[in-house]
Amino acid sequence: MTQAGPAPDPRWWRDAVIYQVYPRSFADGDGDGTGDIAGMRSRLAYLAELGVDAIWVTPWYASPLADGGYDVADYRAIDPAFGTLAEAEALIAEARALGIRTIVDVVPNHVSDAHAWFRAALAAGPGSTERARFWFHPGKGPDGSQIPTHWRSDFAGTTWTRTTNPDGTPGEWYLHLFTPQQPDLNWNHPDVVAEHLDILRFWFDRGAAGIRIDSAALLVKDADLPEVPDQPGPGEHPHVDRDELHDIYRAWRSVADSYPDSRVLVGEVWLGDRDRFARYLRPDEMHTAFNFDFMSRPWQAAALRASIDSTLEAHLPSGAPPTWVLSNHDVTRPVTRYGRDDSSFAFAAKRFGVPTDLAVGRRRARAAALLVAALPGCWYVYQGEELGLPEVEDLPLDVLEDPMHFRSGGLDPGRDGCRVPLPWSGSEPPFGFSPPNATHDPWLPQPKDWQSLTVEAQEDDPASMLALYRAVVRVRRTEASLGDGPMTWLDLGPQVLAFVRGDVTCVVNFGADPIDLPAHTDVLLLSSPLDAGRLPRDCAGWLRTTP
């Protein structure tokens, strides 16, 4: 298939700006309160104007939505709530014609309990070949009533659920690292391996330029099902970062490399150990992986400098470009996070009612955007980040959907607050998210006071977050030394991060006192106005300097 669009560029992924679309909350084309592909197609011009190189679309496949679509019932079908496969193909082609590539999300660790394989496994019973594609296991104890292992779920609680036999008696248990509606696949089974290679081809054949690999370090389990050691050494954890994973991604890379115009693999790899993280980026494995370390750090010069240094160092051996991520559909929105006394991010620490200064948070989030966009590598922008949306922390409890909230017993507020439908225009909900003749309210209610945060309101305001993001993407594109390539630190004291990229210097002031700008011939961008010619606290600037 020949496609309209930009000329092939085998290195496009090395410095791309990639916009994450969470389809359910992006734009609602048919008025049912749920975002969909029709909505995405109607807003492609917005993304082109923002100037992004690619979109990453979170799962849009047939799904009961037990985990927002990360419970996939059929990888080759679009959920009717989002549209049809033909619409997905049209979206990929239309985006491409505007110069925007599409990355789709593949969830290889688990499927939905509504997936045909799992239904067949339940029906076929113990010892069947159908069950061998999953982790079915007898319980411990004389009556099998004790769980096979005490592995803890990332979503709190146990990782095993007991089945019921056709005669009503208790049966085997099955493994699920996430919710019981997301049974884990057995990656030792050849069907599982073959099926995923075919899913990759299915989407590459439809023009996908890349695959985002969900929970990429979890797929392989130790088949002996041991307990998790107190201090597992590298490769010793029974279900995280097993050495066997690398062969899986080598096979995926071969499929990607068999297509023209660089099809890329980007892994969701949450690993503290930087050396182990780096192993996924070897030249015959993934192209890039999400760098969550930076996003987890507090807004402090030393902490962020340490993160940048260790990130660059981890990427040196492979030559893979780093990625920079301030937010996604799983974490607290940056303007909220950076407005707190503790501005670091950790899932386990999320709580309701943390005092937040949104004015401080917004100022820092603006500076953070200039900081990450100037660093070497790719930049991921999560929908609504460019509008400076805050985390919505006062959603009525009865609208919450996220299993992280429910499985924590209500302690963890969950991830719904960063998934509220986007405000596009107008002065009241649904703020243009749904068309005027909509039959339903947005699936999560938008705050009534989002009028000033709509695209429409920000478009004409040069001081808005949207105007800043547009300018950052534009300048990043025109400055050849930004994106991929080297950087050199400048020492401007412990409260300042400053680095040089060719003839552009990025400076960020974390300290209380304004600082003098280093020698420059021009100011390209500022996250906030100067204070009597000096760079104030929580402000970043891009300067034209002599290389």
Provide, rounded to whole angstroms, the least separation between the CB of residue 150 and ligand GLC. Answer: 20
Provide, rounded to whole angstroms, the least separation between the CB of residue 213 and ligand GLC. Answer: 10
Residue 74 and residue 64: Cα distance in Å, rounded? 10
Nearer to ligand GLC, 404 or 497 (CB): 404
Nearer to ligand GLC, 212 or 537 (CB): 212
Nearer to ligand GLC, 67 or 172 (CB): 67
Provide, rounded to whole angstroms, the least separation between the CB of residue 155 and ligand GLC. Answer: 7
74 class by beta-carbon count within 10 Å (0-12 exposed, 13-18 middle, 19+ buried): middle
Nearer to ligand GLC, 215 or 434 (CB): 215
SS3 state of residue 48 = helix
Nearer to ligand GLC, 92 or 269 (CB): 269
Nearer to ligand GLC, 130 or 214 (CB): 214
Strand order in the sheet with 522-526: 488-490, 496-501, 504-509, 539-544, 522-526
Residue 293 and residue 272: Cα distance in Å, rounded? 8
Provide, rounded to whole angstroms, the least separation between the CB of residue 404 and ligand GLC. Answer: 8
Count each helix (H run) and each strand (E run) in the chain, helices first: 14, 18
Provide, rounded to whole angstroms, the least separation between the CB of residue 286 and ligand GLC. Answer: 16
Provide, rounded to whole angstroms, the least separation between the CB of residue 386 and ligand GLC. Answer: 20
Residue 507 and residue 439: Cα distance in Å, rounded? 49
Binding to ligand GLC, residues 160-189 (CB under 6 A)? 178
Provide, rounded to whole angstroms, the least separation between the CB of residue 107 and ligand GLC. Answer: 5
Binding of residue 70 to ligand GLC (CB under 6 A)? yes
Nearer to ligand GLC, 215 or 262 (CB): 215
Nearer to ligand GLC, 292 or 510 (CB): 292
Provide, rounded to whole angstroms, the least separation between the CB of residue 501 and ligand GLC. Answer: 30
Strand order in the sheet with 136-137: 136-137, 170-175, 160-164
Binding to ligand GLC, residues 318-337 (CB under 6 A)? 329-330
**Strand 17-21 relative to strand 54-57, pairing:** parallel
Nearer to ligand GLC, 329 or 405 (CB): 329
28 to 47: interface string for ligand GLC, x by CB under 6 A: --------------------
Nearer to ligand GLC, 276 or 470 (CB): 276
Residue 281 and residue 522: Cα distance in Å, rounded? 37
Residue 370 and residue 471: Cα distance in Å, rounded? 10
Q: How many residues sit close enough to ligand GLC to count as binding (CB under 6 A)?
A: 9
304 class by beta-carbon count within 10 Å (0-12 exposed, 13-18 middle, 19+ buried): buried
Nearer to ligand GLC, 268 or 538 (CB): 268
380 to 419: interface string for ligand GLC, x by CB under 6 A: ----------------------------------------
Q: What phi, psi does 62 have (nearest 5°)?
A: -55, 125
Provide, rounded to whole angstroms, the least separation between the CB of residue 397 and ligand GLC. Answer: 20
- Out of 215, 454, 528, 545, the only residue in the binding site for ligand GLC (CB under 6 A) is 215
Contacts of 150 (CB under 8 A, 6+ apart): 158, 227, 228
DSSP-assigned states of every residue in 310-377: HHHHHHTTTTPPPEEES--TTS--HHHHTTSSS----GGG--TT----HHHHHHHHHHHHHHHHHSSS
Provide, rounded to whole angstroms, the least separation between the CB of residue 544 and ligand GLC. Answer: 38
104 to 123: interface string for ligand GLC, x by CB under 6 A: ---x----------------
Residue 412 and residue 402: Cα distance in Å, rounded? 10
Closest residue to bound ligand GLC by CB: 70
50 to 69: interface string for ligand GLC, x by CB under 6 A: -----------------x--
User: Would you state the structure tokens that stand for residue 53, as one six-digit string?
Assistant: 């190189």
Binding to ligand GLC, residues 328-387 (CB under 6 A)? 329-330
The label of the residue with tokens 């049209």 reads 90
Nearer to ligand GLC, 376 or 413 (CB): 413
Provide, rounded to whole angstroms, the least separation between the CB of residue 68 and ligand GLC. Answer: 6
User: Would you state the structure tokens that stand for residue 497, as one six-digit string?
Assistant: 């991060």
Binding to ligand GLC, residues 253-312 (CB under 6 A)? 268
Provide, rounded to whole angstroms, the least separation between the CB of residue 211 and ligand GLC. Answer: 14
Binding to ligand GLC, residues 72-111 (CB under 6 A)? 107
SS3 state of residue 191 = helix
Sign of CA dihedral 205, 207, 210, 216: negative
Residue 203 and residue 210: Cα distance in Å, rounded? 9
Residue 183 and residue 121: Cα distance in Å, rounded? 11
- Kindly list the residues in this chain that would bind ligand GLC in the complex (CB under 6 A): 67, 70, 107, 178, 214-215, 268, 329-330
